[in-house]
Amino acid sequence: MEKDVFVNVLGAGLAGCEAAYQIAKRGVHVRLYEMKPEKMTPAHKSKYLCELICSNSLKASRVESAAGLLKEEMRRTGSLLLECADKCAVPAGGALAVDRDKFSEMVTSRLRSEPLIYIIEQEVTEIPKDSVTVVATGPLTSDALADKIIALCNGSLHFFDAAAPIVSAESIDMNYAFAASRYDRGEDDAYINCPMNKEEYENFHRELVIAERAPRHDVDVQDPKVYEGCMPVEILAQRGLDTLRFGPMKPVGLRDPRTGHRPWAVLQLRTENAEKTMYNLVGFQTNLRFPEQKRVFGMIPALKNAEYVRYGVMHRNTFLDSPRVLDSDYSLRSDPDIFFAGQMTGVEGYMESASSGMMAGINAVKRLMNMETVTYPPETMTGALSRYISDPTVKDFQPMGANLGILPPLSEHIRDKKLRAKAYSDRALSALDDFLAISD
C-alpha cells in the first residue's frame, strides 16, 4: 500500500481507537487525530488514549446475554479493545470490568507501536476532505467541530451524561458492609454491598431529593433528551420514595450476613482496579455539588467516612439523528466518504461504541479501495445495532445499547428466558461465523 493512501480518524476514544486499529490491520495508513493533551475537557483526566470516563464496567460477560454476545462477536472479528480488556480485567461478578488506567495505557501502547498509525495531537475544527474520514469525536466533541457536524447533518440532539463517584477501599466501613455478588454469582469480592434499613433509607432519600446541585446553565436534566441510563440519582429519587429501591439500590439477590435477611435497600460498590483500592458507586451518577455528595452519600452507614477519589460529575453528550443521516455501514448518506462512529451515532455503551468504530474502520478501508461496504447479519448484535441506528422508520430516536429486543425474532417461541437468550446467542454466532468465512 502506498504511504500517501490513508484514512483520517478523528478522536481517539474507544470508537476511534478501534477504528484506527482495524484500518491499520488491513494495511492502510491512519492519521489518528486526538486533541488531548493539547486541549482537555472537564471530564477527561488522563493523558492516554481510550480513556474510560464513567464506569469501568464493560457489562455482562456471559455470551448468553446481549452485552456478552456483542463482546464475543467483537472478539471473533479481531477487536483490539476486547483483547486489551481481557488482559486488564478486574473482578466484577458476571461482568467484564477493567483497571481503567492499565486498559488505556495498553491500548495507547499498542496503537503507538503500529507502524501504519500516525497519532496527531491537535484539535480538529474541520472535517478533512483529503481522504475517507471516520468521525469518532464522541460525546465531548469540541464546539468548533460540533458546529461543522451540525451543519453537515442538518442538526443534532444533545443530552448529558453523569458519572458516578469513586471512593477509596480503605475508607469503606466494612462493619456496615459485606462482600457478595447477587445470587452468589461470580467472585465474592467483586462487589461491596452497603445495606440500609428502612429508616436509614428514608432519611437518605429525603436529603438526596433536596440536596444542592451543581449549576448548569446549558441543560435541564429533566429534559426528555437526557438518556435514561445516565439519569442522575437525585433525579431518579424525585420520582418517588421507592424508585431507587427498584433501581440502583435494589436489594434482590442479596442477604446481609449481620441480620440474615435481605436489606431494605443496598448500594453496590464495584472494584475499579486490579488492586481493589478503589470502588465505584454503581448507578449513582450525579450532578450534586461535591460537598453535598460527601454529606448525602455519607448517610449510607458504610460510607460515613468515605474518601472520594473522584466525585461524580455531569458532562455534555451529543448524538446525531442517525436514522435520518447514516446508513447501516455507518457512512453519511449525503457524503459516503465520511463515516461516523461511537456514541455520537446513537449507540449507547463502551463496547457498543467500540463495535461501531470497528465497523466504521472496516468499511472506511473498503470505501477507500472502491469495494462494497458491509453490514453484519441482522441476527448478530453488531448488525442489529447498526441497523437500528440507521432505520428511517425510527421516529423518536434515542440512544440504544445492546439488547436482545433489537434482534429478529426466533423462529420458535421459547418460554424459558435463559434458553431463549442462548438460542439468540447461538444463532448470532453461527450467522457471524458464516459471514466471516466469506468476508474480510
Full 3-state SS string of 166-190: EEEHHHCCHHHCEECCHHHCCCCCC
252 and 341 share one domain: no
Last residue of a domain, one of 289, 313, 337: 313
26 and 87 share one domain: yes
The CATH number of the domain holding residue 367 is 3.50.50.60
Residue 217 is predicted with a pLDDT of 45
143 and 262 share one domain: no
> Quick check: 312 and 223 in contact, CB under 8 A?
no
137 and 11 share one domain: yes
252 and 350 share one domain: no
The CATH number of the domain holding residue 295 is 2.40.30.260
The pLDDT of residue 161 is above 70: no
The pLDDT of residue 190 is above 90: no
| Structural domain contains residue 15 | yes
Three cell numbers, residue 117: 498509525
Question: Please, what is the end-to-end C-alpha distance for the chain in angstroms?
Answer: 17
CA 2 – CA 304 distance, rounded (Å): 61
The pLDDT of residue 175 is above 70: yes
| Structural domain contains residue 26 | yes
Span 213-252, pLDDT tens digits: 987 644 444 444 455 667 899 999 999 999 999 999 999 9
296 and 278 share one domain: yes
Over range 294-323, report the average pLDDT. 90
Q: In what order do the strands lie in the sheet with 191-196?
A: 178-179, 191-196, 265-271, 278-281, 166-168, 308-310
Span 110-133, pLDDT tens digits: 999 999 999 999 999 999 999 999
384 vs 160: which has the higher pLDDT: 384
CA 155 – CA 158 distance, rounded (Å): 10
- Count CB neighbours of 74 within 10 A: 23
CA 283 – CA 317 distance, rounded (Å): 18
Q: Whose CA is closest to 232, among 284, 166, 269?
A: 284
108 and 193 share one domain: no
Q: Whose CA is closest to 31, among 49, 50, 6, 48?
A: 6
Over range 431-435, report the average pLDDT. 97
Last residue of a domain, one of 273, 291, 313: 313
| Structural domain contains residue 235 | yes
Q: Give, for 114, the enclosing helix (H) or strand (E).
A: none
Last residue of a domain, one of 313, 347, 373: 313
Confidence of residue 45 (pLDDT cuts 50, 70, 90): confident
Percentage of the residues of the chain whose pLDDT score is greater than 90 = 69
80 and 131 share one domain: yes
317 vs 284: which has the higher pLDDT: 284
> Quick check: 356 and 385 in contact, CB under 8 A?
yes
| Structural domain contains residue 415 | yes
Q: Cβ-count burial of 141 within 10 angstroms (0-12 exposed, 13-18 middle, 19+ buried)?
A: buried
Enumerate long-range contacts of 175-182, CB under 8 Å, 24 or more apart. 176/301, 176/302, 176/304, 177/269, 177/302, 178/256, 178/257, 178/258, 180/254, 180/255, 181/93, 181/94, 182/93, 182/252, 182/253, 182/254
Three cell numbers, residue 170: 480503605
Q: Which domain holds residue 330?
A: 6-155+321-438
187 and 245 share one domain: yes
Residue 189 is predicted with a pLDDT of 66
| Structural domain contains residue 1 | no
Lowest mean pLDDT among 157-171, 293-307, 340-354: 157-171
Domain count, the chain: 2
The pLDDT of residue 187 is above 70: no
- Count CB neighbours of 244 within 10 A: 22
Chain centre distance of CA 415: 30
76 and 216 share one domain: no
| Structural domain contains residue 67 | yes
214 and 253 share one domain: yes
Cis geometry, peptide bond prior to residue 37 (ω within 30 degrees of 0): yes
| Structural domain contains residue 398 | yes
Lowest mean pLDDT among 49-53, 94-98, 224-228: 224-228
The pLDDT of residue 387 is above 50: yes
46 and 182 share one domain: no
Residue 137 is predicted with a pLDDT of 93
Percentage of the residues of the chain whose pLDDT score is greater than 70 = 92
Q: What is the mean pLDDT of the chain?
A: 90
Q: Can you give the pTM of this predicted structure?
A: 0.78
